[in-house]
Amino acid sequence: MLRIAVLGVGRIGRMHAENIAAHPRAALAGVFDTYAPAAKEVSEKLGVPNFESVDAVLASGDVDAVLIATSTATHADLIEKAVAAGKPILCEKPIDLSLARVNACATKIAGTPLPIMLGFVRRFDTGHAAVRRAIEDGTIGDLHQVVITSRDPGMAPAAYIEVSGGIFRDMTIHDFDMARFILGEEVTEVSATGSRLVDPALMAKCDDYDTVTVVLTTASGKQAIINNSRRAVYGYDQRVEALGSAGMAVSDNRRLNHLRLSTEAFTDQAAPLMNFFIDRYADAFAAEIGAFVDAVEQGKTPPVTFEDGRQALILADAALRSVREGRVVKTSEVA
Amino acid sequence: MLRIAVLGVGRIGRMHAENIAAHPRAALAGVFDTYAPAAKEVSEKLGVPNFESVDAVLASGDVDAVLIATSTATHADLIEKAVAAGKPILCEKPIDLSLARVNACATKIAGTPLPIMLGFVRRFDTGHAAVRRAIEDGTIGDLHQVVITSRDPGMAPAAYIEVSGGIFRDMTIHDFDMARFILGEEVTEVSATGSRLVDPALMAKCDDYDTVTVVLTTASGKQAIINNSRRAVYGYDQRVEALGSAGMAVSDNRRLNHLRLSTEAFTDQAAPLMNFFIDRYADAFAAEIGAFVDAVEQGKTPPVTFEDGRQALILADAALRSVREGRVVKTSEVA
Amino acid sequence: MLRIAVLGVGRIGRMHAENIAAHPRAALAGVFDTYAPAAKEVSEKLGVPNFESVDAVLASGDVDAVLIATSTATHADLIEKAVAAGKPILCEKPIDLSLARVNACATKIAGTPLPIMLGFVRRFDTGHAAVRRAIEDGTIGDLHQVVITSRDPGMAPAAYIEVSGGIFRDMTIHDFDMARFILGEEVTEVSATGSRLVDPALMAKCDDYDTVTVVLTTASGKQAIINNSRRAVYGYDQRVEALGSAGMAVSDNRRLNHLRLSTEAFTDQAAPLMNFFIDRYADAFAAEIGAFVDAVEQGKTPPVTFEDGRQALILADAALRSVREGRVVKTSEVA
Amino acid sequence: MLRIAVLGVGRIGRMHAENIAAHPRAALAGVFDTYAPAAKEVSEKLGVPNFESVDAVLASGDVDAVLIATSTATHADLIEKAVAAGKPILCEKPIDLSLARVNACATKIAGTPLPIMLGFVRRFDTGHAAVRRAIEDGTIGDLHQVVITSRDPGMAPAAYIEVSGGIFRDMTIHDFDMARFILGEEVTEVSATGSRLVDPALMAKCDDYDTVTVVLTTASGKQAIINNSRRAVYGYDQRVEALGSAGMAVSDNRRLNHLRLSTEAFTDQAAPLMNFFIDRYADAFAAEIGAFVDAVEQGKTPPVTFEDGRQALILADAALRSVREGRVVKTSEVA
Query: Is position A217 within any domain?
Result: yes
Query: Is position A104 within any domain?
Result: yes
**CA-based R_g, chain C, Å:** 20
Query: Is position B232 within any domain?
Result: yes
The β-bridge partners of A263 are A266, C247
**Of the candidates D249, D257, D262, which has its C-beta nearest B130's C-beta?**
D257
- C335 pLDDT exceeds 90? no
Q: What is the CATH number of the domain that holds D64?
A: 3.40.50.720
Quick one: A104 and A185 in the same domain? no
Query: C93, C114, C135: which is the final residue of a domain?
Result: C114
Quick one: A143 and A228 in the same domain? yes
Residue A24's pLDDT band (boundaries 50, 70, 90)? confident
C44-66: average pLDDT: 97
Per-residue confidence (pLDDT) for residue B140, from 0 to 100: 97
> Strand (E) positions, B139-286?
143-151, 187-195, 211-218, 223-229, 237-244, 247-251, 259-263, 266-270
Quick one: B194 and B61 in the same domain? no
Per-residue confidence (pLDDT) for residue A335, from 0 to 100: 85
Per-residue confidence (pLDDT) for residue C265, from 0 to 100: 85
Quick one: D69 and D191 in the same domain? no
Q: B221-253: string of b/e by CB count within 10 Å (b at 16+)?
A: bbbbbbbbbbbbbbbbbbbbbbbbebbbbbbbb
A261 vs C140: CB contact, 8 Å cut-off? yes
Interface mutation target, options C14, C122, C252, C260, chain A, most CBs of A under 10 Å: C260
Please state whether beta strands B116-118 and B89-91 pair in parallel, antiparallel, or not at all (unpaired). Answer: parallel
Quick one: A20 and A91 in the same domain? yes
Closest CA to C3 of C109, C14, C12, C17: C17
For C164, counting Cβ atoms within 10 Å of its Cβ (0-12 exposed, 13-18 middle, 19+ buried), the class is middle
Close Cβ partners of A79 (under 8 Å, ≥ 6 residues apart): A68, A89, A91, A95, A105, A109, A116, A306
In tens, the pLDDT along A183-209 reads 999 999 999 999 999 999 999 999 999
Please state whether beta strands A211-218 and B329-330 pair in parallel, antiparallel, or not at all (unpaired). Answer: unpaired
CA distance linking residue C205 with residue A324, whole number of Å: 78
In tens, the pLDDT along A278-288 reads 999 999 999 99
* pLDDT averaged per 10 residues in sequence order, chain B, 335 residues: 97 97 94 97 96 98 98 97 98 96 98 97 98 98 98 96 96 98 98 98 98 98 98 98 98 96 94 94 97 96 98 98 98 95
Cβ-Cβ pairs closer than 8 A, B with C, add up to 109
CA distance linking residue A158 with residue D43, whole number of Å: 69
Do residues D95 and D74 make contact, with C-beta atoms less than 8 angstroms apart?
A: no
Q: D287-309: string of b/e by CB count within 10 Å (b at 16+)?
A: bbbebbbbbbbeeeebbbbbebb
Query: B81, B114, B147: which is the final residue of a domain?
Result: B114
In tens, the pLDDT along C13-27 reads 999 999 999 898 999
CA distances from A92 to A69, A74, A237, C245, D235 (A): 5, 11, 21, 51, 41
| pLDDT tens digit at each of 335 positions of chain D | 999 999 999 999 999 999 999 898 999 999 999 999 999 999 999 999 999 999 999 999 999 999 999 999 999 999 999 999 999 999 999 999 999 999 999 999 999 999 999 999 999 999 999 999 999 999 999 999 999 999 999 999 999 999 999 999 999 999 999 999 999 999 999 999 999 999 999 999 999 999 999 999 999 999 999 999 999 999 999 999 999 999 999 999 999 999 999 999 889 999 999 999 999 999 999 999 999 999 999 999 999 999 999 999 999 999 999 999 999 999 999 98
Helix or strand (DSSP H, E) at C314: helix C306-325
Per-residue confidence (pLDDT) for residue D277, from 0 to 100: 96
D217–chain A Cβ distance below 8 A for any pair: yes
A211 alpha carbon, distance to own chain's centre: 19
Do residues A27 and A20 make contact, with C-beta atoms less than 8 angstroms apart?
A: yes
**Domain residue limits at B79:** 2-114
Close Cβ partners of A293 (under 8 Å, ≥ 6 residues apart): A2, A23, A25, A26
Query: Is position C291 within any domain?
Result: no
Cβ-Cβ pairs closer than 8 A, B with D, add up to 87
Q: How many domains does chain B have?
A: 2
In tens, the pLDDT along C87-117 reads 999 999 999 999 999 999 999 999 999 999 9
Do residues C246 and C257 make contact, with C-beta atoms less than 8 angstroms apart?
A: no
Per-residue confidence (pLDDT) for residue C24, from 0 to 100: 87
Closest CA to B2 of B255, B277, B293: B293
D272–chain C Cβ distance below 8 A for any pair: yes
Closest CA to A168 of A16, A335, A324: A324
Do residues B329 and B315 make contact, with C-beta atoms less than 8 angstroms apart?
A: no
Residue A41's pLDDT band (boundaries 50, 70, 90)? very high
Neighbours, chain C (3 or more CB pairs < 8 A): A, B, D
CA distances from B166 to B158, B228, B232, B239, C335 (A): 12, 13, 18, 22, 34
In tens, the pLDDT along B302-315 reads 999 999 999 999 99
Quick one: C86 and C211 in the same domain? no
In tens, the pLDDT along D16-26 reads 999 999 898 99
- C289 pLDDT exceeds 90? yes
B272 vs A270: CB contact, 8 Å cut-off? no
For B326, counting Cβ atoms within 10 Å of its Cβ (0-12 exposed, 13-18 middle, 19+ buried), the class is middle
Quick one: D186 and D41 in the same domain? no
- A265 pLDDT exceeds 90? no
ipTM for the predicted complex? 0.96
* DSSP per-residue string spanning D296-330: HHHTPPPSSBHHHHHHHHHHHHHHHHHHHHTB-EE
Calculate how close chain C gets to A111, using CA atoms only, in Å.
38
Please state whether beta strands C329-330 and D2-7 pair in parallel, antiparallel, or not at all (unpaired). Answer: unpaired
In tens, the pLDDT along C273-286 reads 999 999 999 999 99
Closest CA to B119 of B59, B72, B187: B72
Per-residue confidence (pLDDT) for residue D24, from 0 to 100: 87
Per-residue confidence (pLDDT) for residue A136, from 0 to 100: 98
Quick one: C262 and C323 in the same domain? yes
Query: Is position A201 within any domain?
Result: yes
Quick one: C169 and C88 in the same domain? no
Calculate how close chain D gets to B87, using CA atoms only, in Å.
28
Per-residue confidence (pLDDT) for residue B24, from 0 to 100: 87
Do residues D16 and D6 make contact, with C-beta atoms less than 8 angstroms apart?
A: yes
Across chain C, mean pLDDT equals 97
Query: Is position D299 within any domain?
Result: no
Calculate how close chain D gets to A268, using CA atoms only, in Å.
14
DSSP B169: I
Calculate how close chain D gets to C232, using CA atoms only, in Å.
8
C144–chain B Cβ distance below 8 A for any pair: yes
Close Cβ partners of A282 (under 8 Å, ≥ 6 residues apart): none
Quick one: A100 and A207 in the same domain? no
In tens, the pLDDT along D68-91 reads 999 999 999 999 999 999 999 999
CA dihedral A308, A328, A222, D212 (to 10 degrees): 150
Calculate how close chain A gets to C147, using CA atoms only, in Å.
14
For residue B128, how many C-alpha atoms fall within 13 Å in the half-sphere facing its CB? 29
In tens, the pLDDT along C139-172 reads 999 999 999 999 999 999 999 999 999 999 999 9
Quick one: C129 and C261 in the same domain? yes
Q: How many of the other CB atoms lie within 10 Å of CB of A300?
A: 11
CA distance linking residue B4 with residue B1, whole number of Å: 9
Query: D82, D114, D146: which is the final residue of a domain?
Result: D114
B269 vs A271: CB contact, 8 Å cut-off? no
Query: Is position A292 within any domain?
Result: no
Per-residue confidence (pLDDT) for residue D265, from 0 to 100: 85
Please state whether beta strands B65-68 and B89-91 pair in parallel, antiparallel, or not at all (unpaired). Answer: parallel
A139–chain C Cβ distance below 8 A for any pair: yes
D234–chain C Cβ distance below 8 A for any pair: yes
Residues of C in contact with B220 (CB under 8 A): 197
In tens, the pLDDT along A151-165 reads 999 999 999 999 999
Per-residue confidence (pLDDT) for residue B144, from 0 to 100: 98
Per-residue confidence (pLDDT) for residue D241, from 0 to 100: 98
What's at B90, amino acid-wise? L
Query: Is position B222 within any domain?
Result: yes
**Of the candidates D134, D256, D261, which has its C-beta nearest B261's C-beta?**
D134
C263-277: average pLDDT: 93
Q: What is the CATH number of the domain that holds B243?
A: 3.30.360.10
Quick one: A140 and A12 in the same domain? no
